[in-house]
Amino acid sequence: MDEWSIDLIIIVYENKIIARSHNQREMLLDPTAHAEMIAITQASAYLQNWRLSDTTIYV
């Protein structure tokens, strides 16, 4: 089975990087520790809002 993964996610708000992450599933032994989930959680904490309006996500 061919697999590919997203190795890095960066989230930008007002031209500033507010979150970045990489896959941490194996390191944390957590099947939900995907780069995008971790970065979204970081960005939400930074913005203190679950809506990530006016952000850009780079993969």
The residue ranges of every structural domain in the chain are: 9-58
pTM for the model: 0.84
Query: In sequence order, what DSSP letters do the residues of 1-59 get, joined into one string?
Result: --------EEEEETTEEEEEE---HHHHT-TT--HHHHHHHHHHHHHTSS--TTEEEE-
- Supply the pLDDT for residue 58: 96
Assign 48 a pLDDT band (cuts: 50, 70, 90): very high
Residue 7 has pLDDT above 90, yes or no: no
Contacts of 9 (CB under 8 A, 6+ apart): 19, 20, 21, 22, 35, 36, 38, 39, 57, 58, 59
Name the residues annotated as catalytic. Answer: 36
Cα Rg, the chain, nearest whole Å = 12
